[in-house]
Structure 1
Amino acid sequence: MRAKLALVAAFTLLTAACGGGGGAQTTSDGTTKVTLGLIPIVDVAPVYLGIKKGFFAEQKLELTIQTAQGGAALIPGVVSQQYQFAFSNTASLLLAGSQGLPLKVVSAGNASTGVEDKDFGAVLVKKDSPIKSVKDLAGKRVGVNTLKNINTLTVSNSVREAGADPTKITFVELPFPQIPAAIEKGDIDAGQVVEPFLTIGKEQGLTPIGNPLNGLMVGLYFTSEQFAAQNPTAVTGFTTAMKKSLVYANGHPEEARAVLTDYLKLEPAVQQKLVLPKWPTEIDRPAVQRLLDMAKKDGLITKDPDLTKLIP
């Protein structure tokens, strides 16, 4: 991970030295074209809703969306300005910040509902599994969408708090859509998923045993320091449009639920049953600090990121 991040940082310095000009294009009518990196999960529904409602067009922004398996994979793309903006889980951004990567958070993303058994994420197991609680995950194979991210971190923390040894967990990296089937086949013993894959798994007979994401600020939108410095109007416009999108999604949950089919293949029953996350407009800094403390305890982060630079 350190070698990979160092390579990305070196590439960024090289492109900057060669005059890599920020990656955005502005048309004759003043519209700025940008690429936004997303994960195809329920968390990012406000973006698609905001595009439909014209919130980004109001800010003279035209978004091209590209998707990836996890937020950690999108971070190098933002640093190299393959993407001008992206969505990532908070833990991966804290890790990147601790490594000195030049990133800047520009908007809140999503958060846990904080309601037990009515949240958008959980650990799934087979119905007849001997795993009855997160404590039982020690010594087991647990599927996550990306290694060294918010799911590995929070699962480990939950197991530790339950009195078991999280270092005995074997984490297996799998795309979210593949995790329920891998549990069913026995390739893994459990899997940490978010919606819609939580409801899909439950519809297939899998059982949730706990939600390690409970009460946390799960995702954030971000850009690079270089892009922010070169394109302040575009960044301010993106932040403004995202805030309107988040407010609208919170106030119109059925429209947020309906827009999911624009980027996800969902059965009608799953679409109606799945749990939507909270979409706050402000970043919950104490919740971010909780994640940072977890990451330090887990050894994932050994040097504090500069939170005043990462999350202005």
Structure 2
Amino acid sequence: MEIISKSKSIFILFAMIGIFILAGCQQEASTTQAEGEYETLTIRYQGNAGRVLFPELAEDLGYLDPIKLEWVNNTISGPQSIQTAATGDTDFGWAFNGAIVQLRANGAPVKSVIGYYGSDEEEFYGYYVLEDSPIKEAKDFIGKTVGMNTLGAHAEFMLKEYLKQSGLTDKEIEQVTMVVVPPVNTEQALREKQIDVATLSGMSRELAVENGGIRPIFKDYELFGSFTAGSLMMTERFIQENPNTVRKLVEGTAKAIEWARDTPREEVIARFEKIIEERDRQEDTEALQYWKSAGVSEIGGYMQPESFQLWIDWLVKNGELEEGEVKVEDLFTNEFNPYKDEFED
């Protein structure tokens, strides 16, 4: 600090930088005002290889204009996605609602703004074994290894819920080993007997089933029926500082969900292929042919309290949360959803 205060040239340099920054801010302010007063025209996020997220679809359909998405990198993990958003390295993350509850419980001031995936008869998480596997029911999981995309998220929660509903004790459940296997390798790991049970979802599941030689033990929608399982979240700070931008992102994403729901399957797949080819990230599009459903139970990704309360109660029951530690009303907002009037009086 002493060197800077005595250096006239450095003082002038800082003054010039300040002028340029001020000019840039004025130019950006002018631009956002001209474009509808959006606080920022760029939203950073993590993608998922071989998959088109609903915000990406929204951008391609023109629903986000003039806002643009800035891809940072890919992840296969919902918990990683929301942690990256919580630290400010991206502007939104997407994950299983139970993982968002846990993140909030750990002190992260985050909030879900729209549902983005779920389970139904066409889009679900299935737990598969080889055709000749001795595993037939829940008790057969004891001592076995289950492969899944990440721990502490949807696949782990559903497996434990299935085992609990089937009567296994906590001690018996502890004897079931869960390991992380990238989705692109899960089918192969099962067929090579590196794991005993494979957690498969979406297009990867459909491709594996078509290849034959495997059978399901259970599917998550059999536990709860059709439900929205995960949501897109942001930090409360980002929401407060960028409400117009957030509204545009949520509105566009909601419209994209409904577009995918209402558009013939072949057209949706063709659009996904176009998006992946144009972004040129060296991704395999084969699995896209098996896309079947948007998988979001509510119109436009509208979120219901029970989609979060279910996992609060589950975590409390398992001793991972204290009663009242996390309140459902703090976890999400439908404020920005254009379809909220269809649910709220």
Does TM, scored on the shorter chain, surpass 0.5?
yes
When normalised by structure 1's length, the TM-score is 0.81
Q: 1:285 to 1:163 in 2, by over 3 A?
A: same
8 Å CA contact retained: 2:257, 2:294: no
Q: Which ranges of structure 2 fall in alignment gaps of 5 or more residues?
A: 1-26, 33-39, 277-282, 334-345
How many equivalent pairs are there?
280
Distance in 2, Cα, partners of 1:100 & 1:111:
26
Q: Secondary structure at the match of 2:330?
A: helix
Establish whether residue 173 from structure 1 lines up as the match of residue 183 from structure 2: no
Q: How does 1:35-54 map to 2 (within 5 A)?
A: 35-40=44-49, 45-54=53-62
Per-residue deviation at 1:122?
0.6
Per-residue deviation at 1:293?
2.2
When normalised by structure 2's length, the TM-score is 0.74
User: What is the identity, as a one-letter code, of the residue corresponding to 1:119?
Assistant: E
**Greater alpha carbon shift after TM alignment, 296-305 vs 203-212:** 296-305
Q: Secondary structure at the match of 1:163?
A: coil
Q: How does 1:136-285 map to 2 (within 5 A)?
A: 136-164=140-168, 165-205=172-212, 206-214=214-222, 215=225, 216-254=227-265, 255-261=267-273, 262-263=275-276, 265-267=284-286, 270-279=287-296, 280=298, 281=300, 282-285=302-305
Encode CA deviations 1:211-247: one digit per residue, 9 max, x unaligned: 1254332110111111112111111111111111111
Superposition RMSD in Å:
2.3
8 Å CA contact retained: 2:316, 2:322: yes
Distance in 2, Cα, partners of 1:218 & 1:292:
13
Q: Which ranges of structure 1 fall in alignment gaps of 5 or more residues?
A: 1-24
Q: 1:29 aligns with which of 28, 31, 34?
A: 31
Per-residue deviation at 1:253?
4.5
Q: How does 1:42-121 map to 2 (within 5 A)?
A: 45-57=53-65, 60-65=66-71, 66-113=73-120, 115=121, 118-121=122-125
Q: Is the radius of gyration larger for structure 1 or structure 2?
A: 2
8 Å CA contact retained: 1:45, 1:256: no
Identity of aligned residues (%): 22
User: What is the identity, as a one-letter code, of the residue corresponding to 1:234?
Assistant: T
Encode CA deviations 1:140-192: one digit per residue, 9 max, x unaligned: 10011111112101111101111223222100012111111111111110121
Q: Secondary structure at the match of 1:171?
A: strand
Distance in 1, Cα, partners of 2:99 & 2:310:
14
Distance in 1, Cα, partners of 2:138 & 2:204:
19
8 Å CA contact retained: 2:97, 2:230: yes
Q: 1:296 aligns with which of 316, 328, 332?
A: 316
Hey, which bits of structure 1, 4+ residues long, moved more than 4 A? 25-28
Distance in 1, Cα, partners of 2:238 & 2:79:
19
Q: 1:287 aligns with which of 307, 328, 331?
A: 307
Establish whether residue 133 from structure 1 lines up as the match of residue 137 from structure 2: yes
Distance in 1, Cα, partners of 2:28 & 2:173:
49
**Greater alpha carbon shift after TM alignment, 298-307 vs 146-155:** 298-307
User: What is the identity, as a one-letter code, of the residue corresponding to 1:258?
Assistant: A
